[in-house]
Chain A
Amino acid sequence: MKDFLRNTWKHRAHVVMALPVFLVLLFIMYVPMTGLVLAFKKYDFNLGMYKSPFCGLDNFKFIIASKDIFQRMTKNTILYYLVFTAIGTFLNVVLAIAIDQFFFKRLSKTMQTIMILPVFISYAAVQFIVFAFISSDTGIINHVLGTRIRFYSDAKLWPYILTTVKIWKDTGYGSVLYMSVLAGIDSELYEAADIDGANKWKKIKHITIPSLIPMVTVMLLLSVGNVMRSDTGLFYQVTRNNGSLYSTTQVIDSYVLNSILSNANFGYTAAASFFQSVIGLALMLFANWAVRKIEPDNALF
């Protein structure tokens, strides 16, 4: 202990330098963690969070009783996660290989710059772009097809719309990581394969794809921790928070945001948040454990 204190005193300059981040995390991240107790309380605006009376598991019972809403948003959250992760990973890898194989490197760099661009446009702006495509009166899609589909009131179309928007926004950026892996493949491997008479498909199958697998595994496992979280902007802004679309577009995060903005249902929302945080923690621990088994270097902790 004395050793430890002496060591800390010796490094007092480092303690001072670490202090600002320590404080920011304390007040912005750690203090709000205590707010999870709200899940077990009956929230009273006048009393505030800490002084509101405990109500045991009432909020959770309420969630289970109103299972339609809760089931719906949990189901949407998980399904969108699965679809986005499966399609996203596949397209990221395909795009990375395609760019890597392309003959004109300069041109592919320019194309890549354009492909990454959408990730930097905020969802508040993206929703205007989506509107230009799918508005029922002025939208491009209805004009090209000569139809008058009312996208903003037809919930069953939205899984496709949101998936398309997500692909458009994130694929270019997502492939960058895999491209850097491909750039690191020793070109002697390809030359050796040439000598052995391998054609291009064989080289992709036996050299390119196997070299990507470790990174794909790690990225997939790390994303497992985010099953319960969603891209709030996509589900809140792009759908224009349209109530008639909730059956296919409401996720836990957008539900929570809605209840904050309308100042309602705090008890219920707190229980949903608690559920979200705890499942998130469990999955994250599991994911890290799994990464550690496969690629110890890539584990987070």
Chain B
Amino acid sequence: MGKKKDSALDIAPSKREKFGFGQVILGICLLAYTLFCLLPVWIVFAAAFTDEKAITQNGFAFIPSKFSLNGVNAVLKYGKQLAVSYGVTIFVTVVGTLFGLLIMSMFAYSISRKDFRLSRFLSIYLLIPMLFNGGQLSGYIIFTGYYHLKDSILLLILPLCVTTMNVIILRTYIANSIPNELMEAAKIDGAGEYRTFFQITLPLLKPSLAAVGFMMATAYWNDWQNAMMYITSNKKQPLQLLLIKIQKSIEFLLNNNNVPSSARAAMGGTIPQYSSTMATVIVVIGPIMIAYPFFQKYFIKGLTVGSVKG
């Protein structure tokens, strides 16, 4: 890359652009695209605060025709299951991300040691799953039939905790941005291998840990597929699966007029409705949307590093 990396970040870049008619058109186009990205997210908030009857009569709208907090209140009726699901999702996200970061950075550190002969084999071992894999079906049969992990939280954590690309990002960062002399110096001062890693390397790895960690946390938070395949009991049901169940029960109600009372009871006594469903969606996507701007600069860096092998 060139010398002036920050030129795009300057508030007023030298003589490159003059403000003129072209800029106005460009601005309008960019603004239009921004709205295209924002409006679908906005509709969730608008619908959550619209009166249920107004939605069934007039349809979804960007501006609530009749403001109401009923939808938000109805979310509280999912109360217990929502709290449980929140707990499951937070547990899986935190434990999975921390565990994954720890083991992946240890692995990345090991294979970046220069005179470690086994590291060549380990690098290839790491790369193969990216090229070739058994597919979803074999995974499913092995995990449930042979490991007997059906309905186990482990299957929400382990399949996502190591990705080849993430290890490559960490290894590239260690190779390019952490001077080897630091590690050598620590060893001369009498620090053991583990101490060198935990006290010298790991703290210096922070920017790239933030990038990888955020991407992992989003993957965990948004994972619905593993939950759908493996989780059967309600008390282990993460948020995304709860969303899917809500959608299924709405569909079921639309197709069946006579719903057994037991099914209604399972849904908290109410028929899930548009406004309350959208309020639930807010609860599910909210935390990531709040966290993301804080991590933006890190993952942009991580993305850039990851694309170029060191």
Partner-B contacts on A (CB < 8 A):
4, 7-8, 11, 13-15, 17-18, 20-22, 24-25, 27-36, 38, 48-49, 95, 98-108, 111, 113-118, 120-125, 127-129, 132-133, 135, 137-140, 142-143, 168, 172, 176-177, 179-187, 190-191, 194, 200, 215, 218-219, 225, 232-233, 237, 240, 253, 256-257, 259-261, 266, 269-270, 273-274, 276-277, 280-281, 284-285, 297-301
Contacts and interface: CB of A to CB of B under 8 A. Distances in A.
Contact of B104 (A21, A138, A182, A194): A21
Interface in B144-172: 145-147, 158-159, 161-162, 167
B229 interface: yes
Contacts of A101: 17, 26
Given A129-B44, A256-B136, A194 B300 contact: no
Contacts of A22: 107, 122, 125
Contacts of B131: 225, 280-281, 284-285
Q: Is chain A's interface secondary structure helix, strand, loop, or mixed overall?
A: helix
A131 B296 CA distance: 29
B56 A32 contact: no
A273 B8 CA distance: 45
Given A17-B107, A98-B26, A301 B218 contact: no
A20 B285 contact: no
B284 to A, nearest CB: 6
B73 interface: no
B294 to A, nearest CB: 11
A150 B225 CA distance: 28
Interface in B213-241: 218, 221-225, 228-229, 240-241
Contacts of B222: 120-124
A124 B226 CA distance: 13
B41 A117 contact: yes
B225 A232 contact: yes
Given A120-B218, A184-B1, A191 B122 contact: no
B224 A187 contact: no
B278 interface: yes
B298 interface: no
A63 to B, nearest CB: 14
Given A183-B8, A300-B127, A32 B133 contact: yes
Contacts of A4: 117
Given A11-B116, A190-B16, A300-B309, A176 B7 contact: no
Contact of A187 (B16, B30, B61): B16
Nearest to A129: B40
A177 B138 contact: no
Contacts of A100: 8
A186 B26 contact: no
A49 B141 contact: yes
Contacts of A240: 247, 251
B8 A172 contact: no
Nearest to A100: B8
B243 A124 contact: yes
A21 B103 contact: yes
Interface stretch (B74-82, B190-198, B260-268): B190-198
